[in-house]
Amino acid sequence: MGSYRAADYYRLDENLSVEERGVRDVVRAFVEREFLPLVRDHFHAGTFPTDLIPRLGELGLLGASISGPGCPDLGHTIYGLICRELERGDSGLRSFVSVQGSLVMWPIATYGSEEQKSRWLPELAAGRKIGCFGLTEANHGSDPGGMETRAEPDGKDWVLHGSKLWITNANLADVAVVWARGPRGVMGFLVERGTPGFNAGPVKGKWSLRASDTGELILDEVRLPDSARLPLARGLRAPLSCLNEARYGIAWGAVGAACDCYDTALRFAGERKQFNKPLSAFQLVQAKLVDMLTEITKAQALSLQLGRLKDRGINEVPLVSLAKRNNVAMALDCARTARDILGAAGITDEFGPGRHMANLESVKTYEGTHDIHTLIVGADITGEHAFR
């Protein structure tokens, strides 16, 4: 069907700097040439293409906006563009990068000791080490404040007990950022693979995000020195601040998935004939394409402005929530519409929209569900907190 043409109807990319456009083009080419040829097999096998991890590091895509030892420090708009281009490939690829950067490197850079930063950040940025982020538990998803995992002091050590579920990269990770309830509130720890009592296992039978590792973390009386604690992380605000970083990337990433669906549907509709005319000649099909493009264009403007605000140091949680909520719902609608335009062919793995559609169901749920983001924005504009 020809090569990918990214929708940019309002020429928003003209607002990007030369450096930003350069990064966009590098990531777009990486996805096209190195990732997309692999994704179908990995999606079927339920695996992440781990061979690409060092390449992600080499391209500066891991922790792109983070400053610290060995980190790219490229700024927030560039990080957003990276997420957008990666998720055009697959939400699993963007999820890997979001977790490694926003949920592992960012808390280490923000809440870690100098020793933790110099030990882990260069390795994580290069993709020589992999991280995961353990907040959610089987009984506590939208309400992580109810967490049951405990950190008990014992002499100079801490002993962690509990479990975490739905953890991206759980089975790949060399280090897990684990959140546990201590004597004075929620605390963060770096737990290394191989620590006695610490184990991971896979979540099996996923319909969604199949080209991504999702698992469980078990902490059975895991003894850690105080140097494994993130010294500046105090209370539930610390893990929630990490989620805000990841949600920012998701808001951009969802636009990439939507662009891929739109482009596939537009090209398919131009080639497929019914009633002796291309599908694109029918008014109903045109209306679907116009609706997709309109929503994509609005989401592109939203994410670009969000990036510019964040680059200026404005990083308000409700603004990120509004963008994550809108852009993921928009992308899911686009994936469903594209699948519809493709007819029966849309349910096969020959085309991307079915895979994006399945993936985006997870993206709608993780990093704060659509409903939770509604309540965050609702609380901000009314002053009434519906979920505390």
> Which residue ranges make up the site for ligand FAD (CB under 6 A)?
99, 133-136, 141-142, 166-168, 209, 214, 362, 365-367, 369, 371-372, 387
Give one DSSP letter per residue of 262-294, joined into a string.
HHHHHHHHHH-EETTEEGGGSHHHHHHHHHHHH
Nearer to ligand FAD, 167 or 230 (CB): 167
The position carrying tokens 């989620």 is 243
Backbone angles phi, psi at 217, to 5 degrees: -115, 130
Look at strands 175-182 and 131-134 and give their pairing: parallel
> Count of CB atoms within 10 A of residue 207's CB?
9
118, two tokens: 């110099």
Task: Compute the least distance from the CB of residue 264 to ligand FAD, in Å.
Answer: 23
Q: Which residues pair with 50 in a beta bridge?
A: none
Closest CA to 188 of 122, 126, 116: 116
Q: Which of 115, 245, 367, 384 is catalytic?
A: 367
Nearer to ligand FAD, 153 or 235 (CB): 235
Question: What Å distances lie between residue 278 and 2, 264, 283, CA to CA?
Answer: 16, 15, 11
Task: Compute the least distance from the CB of residue 214 to ligand FAD, in Å.
Answer: 5
Task: Compute the least distance from the CB of residue 137 to ligand FAD, in Å.
Answer: 8
98, two tokens: 């979001």
Task: Compute the least distance from the CB of residue 103 to ligand FAD, in Å.
Answer: 6
149 Cβ contact partners less than 8 Å away, ≥ 6 residues apart: 137, 160, 161, 162, 163, 164, 178, 179, 180, 181, 219
Closest CA to 49 of 76, 75, 31: 31
Nearer to ligand FAD, 75 or 188 (CB): 188
Closest CA to 235 of 190, 192, 183, 191: 183
For ligand FAD, which residue has the nearest CB? 141
Task: Compute the least distance from the CB of residue 360 to ligand FAD, in Å.
Answer: 11
Helix 317-341 and helix 370-382, axial crossing angle in degrees, nearest 10: 140
Compute the CA torsion angle 309, 311, 317, 322 (nearest 10 deg): 50
Task: Compute the least distance from the CB of residue 217 to ligand FAD, in Å.
Answer: 9
Q: How many Å apart are CA 369 and CA 373, to the nearest integer?
A: 6
3-state DSSP call for residue 178? strand
Closest CA to 132 of 208, 80, 199: 199
Closest CA to 332 of 387, 231, 250, 274: 250
Assess whether 384 carries a catalytic annotation. no
Task: Compute the least distance from the CB of residue 195 to ligand FAD, in Å.
Answer: 19
Catalytic residue numbers? 367
